[in-house]
Structure 1
């Protein structure tokens, strides 16, 4: 094994760990949403707003950090970001009210904005195009495993020592990984390309936005992450209210159905994406068909009666396994159509649009819909005070928006499949 291969494998292992902690620290607030809501006296709209503010900060800070990724040492940028968000995660456990908790989550969002553009840019320069989807899949395994750990460990820790302790525990691994990332040898940009693509004329942002496939991919990210953030924030409360589970049991189900099974989709999606790269649109078609199949699974899961937890878990797990193929295929497709010296910029623009227009609204709109339907259920019952049964009914009704948006996301990837071949040729990265 050459030194370059050893460096690539070590880098991928460390970046996987960082991405795992990225989503672990991000999701703790969602996993512990119900006890946090109760302690601070929040409604569902306020609970969803926590994720919205986090996401907006993440998106806006990510754009300049994406440009910095293309012009500075990526390993150093990641190390600084991981250290910052790990410390602010621990600070979340010290919050004394809603406002202070939100401020610490804003800090976490600022730090985490450094991770994706720099990490994906590094992977693009460490792995050749024919192996890139699999490498991206391994990196993105941090997402399902991070969600799994956040739900599983947060529930156990919160039940034993209170919800604040979970935020303290999350700080330590991040600090260790921040030190390890500095041991990665920074590769030259475009080092593994068959031929280095040239940037398009004009500003870097305009150059990226001239790529038609990027518009379809951005639209898909907007729809996908609206759903993902809504589900991540509200599945645990849904299980606790509608199916009347305790925090530990609800967290275990979410850990498996939203986290662990997603690894299957990532790995299979990455494998299929690389196998079908002989066809220019092969990768995005894998993601499109996977989401097309995932939507009816979510609908069927929501159709389960009160207490039908086993079938709900199986159906949501199947949906996650299918929909997670989105990450390994779509993120690799971005690398296929964007020049090496613009990839950090492209990823930051993609994240900005999908977070500001999609993910940031997902949790808040879901919370507002939940409150609306809960209030309507209360009025229809002739009651004058909000009760848990109305909150359960309201959240149940609101969640039916999820399968609809999954179908629209699938449609946007089918749109990308019609433009990607021409864009790959233009970027000098036509499949061979």
Structure 2
């Protein structure tokens, strides 16, 4: 099996063409809408944690597994399904994936017990596994090259927006109509977009503009065997530590996203709708922090790339300290302010980690490198974060678990520290290869 990587010359040639502007933006809007549906379907569960716990007598471990299974499947299947989508056709793959996660979300709405809900959530994860990578690949292929950074940033920001909408809207719907309608609403939104996507977006309308099979998989692309690809993706200590540090830090973000509605419900007495809205506010703070921390990192490391590692370590340590202090405080304004401060920095390492990986991996395999970073983020952070927190909560209570979770940032800081130590030598070797 070979992975085909487009050459630099081909990428420039492909980007010289663009679909009609109006049609391109319609495709972007629909693809972005499905990204919102993706994260709304994934995160609506967290808003109804308190209701499911009471109705089905679930443990926190079980609740955490219902959230973590989606991220686990995303981590395991992102890379292989993305490769298949490139070969089979991105538009067809997107429609199939969105239909699957919408159908699985509808199955969540009619689940009668934990086992049925777990099975439904399993297929939500299968459907969502490769959507992020396939969706952004399709978007990039139909716009000029000079818009790629802007479009990529806007597309990825949709994940946080979708998570906020899923939790906030899910909590409100659950309070007024019941938790089943929370899932049903998300499924309906997904089905509507699937129908629109199927009717409006067509592969043959995109192929003339640089996204046809020959461009993706034909002679213009150079094959790279999986063994050689793996050797490049794990070619240095510093890049491996970037993967590890990024994943460990996101463990905290995932735990906070999953358990904040329950925390506000249990310790602040908030009903489901208000707890969902409150948790959504903290997620928005985290999303804003990702952007601000990335901008700050670029500014401070403009003349010395190694500073990215030092800055990432700083984000880890300060976010850990803020959250450790927060969960030692009694319920009240001071605690919420400290949680907000921690959330502002807790995902700040996302930008620096991406830059580290880009600097350390040859440009010809950047797409695969970011797929590997996504895998690490999911397997080390996003998947185990909610589950492990639930396991700990069953033993020491949710507050006790949240007092422990920020310590994972120290592991991330150690990983970034090791990477920093090897970075100069590894970067020098990579630059010599590029030359």
Same fold (TM over 0.5): yes
Q: CA deviation at 1:3?
A: 6.2
Q: Deviation string for 1:84-138 (max 9, x for gaps)?
A: 2122112211111111111110111001111233345567778999987665443
Distance 1:71 1:211 in 2: 30
Q: CA deviation at 1:246?
A: 1.7
Q: How has the CA–CA distance of structure 1 residues 58 and 78 changed in structure 2, closer, same or farther, with 3 Å as cutoff? A: same
Match of 1:413 among 411, 416, 420: 416
* Structure 2 counterpart of 1:154: 170
* Structure 2 counterpart of 1:271: 295
In the alignment, is residue 171 of structure 1 matched against residue 187 of structure 2?
yes
Count of matched residue positions in the alignment of Structure 1 and Structure 2:
403
Which of 106-115 and 180-189 deviates more? Answer: 180-189
Is this contact kept in 1: 2:258–2:386, CA < 8 A?
yes
Distance 2:281 2:249 in 1: 20
Distance 2:215 2:343 in 1: 33
User: Alignment RMSD, CA only?
Assistant: 3.8
Distance 2:293 2:424 in 1: 19
SS at match of 2:112: coil
Task: Report the TM-score, using the length of structure 2 for normalisation.
Answer: 0.78
Distance 2:34 2:428 in 1: 33
* Structure 2 counterpart of 1:363: 386
* Structure 2 counterpart of 1:98: 114
What aligned pairs does 1:125-140 form with structure 2 within 5 A after superposition? 136-140=152-156
* Structure 2 counterpart of 1:400: 403
Q: CA deviation at 1:42?
A: 0.8
Distance 2:145 2:344 in 1: 24
Is this contact kept in 1: 2:244–2:380, CA < 8 A?
no
What aligned pairs does 1:245-256 form with structure 2 within 5 A after superposition? 245-256=270-281
Q: CA deviation at 1:155?
A: 1.0
* Structure 2 counterpart of 1:36: 52
Q: How has the CA–CA distance of structure 1 residues 286 and 293 changed in structure 2, closer, same or farther, with 3 Å as cutoff? A: same
Q: CA deviation at 1:254?
A: 0.5
In the alignment, is residue 67 of structure 1 matched against residue 79 of structure 2?
no
Distance 2:370 2:177 in 1: 39
Q: CA deviation at 1:161?
A: 0.4
* Structure 1 counterpart of 2:284: 260
In the alignment, is residue 229 of structure 1 matched against residue 254 of structure 2?
yes
Higher helix share goes to which structure? 2
Q: CA deviation at 1:221?
A: 3.2
Structure 1: stretches of 5+ with no match in the other structure: 374-393
Match of 1:204 among 196, 206, 229: 229
In the alignment, is residue 325 of structure 1 matched against residue 348 of structure 2?
yes
Q: CA deviation at 1:154?
A: 0.9
* Structure 2 counterpart of 1:380: none
Q: CA deviation at 1:199?
A: 5.7
Q: CA deviation at 1:301?
A: 2.0
Structure 2: stretches of 5+ with no match in the other structure: 1-15
Is this contact kept in 2: 1:44–1:367, CA < 8 A?
yes
Is this contact kept in 1: 2:249–2:347, CA < 8 A?
no
Q: CA deviation at 1:311?
A: 2.9
Distance 1:75 1:280 in 2: 38
Task: Report the TM-score, using the length of structure 1 for normalisation.
Answer: 0.78
Distance 1:237 1:429 in 2: 51
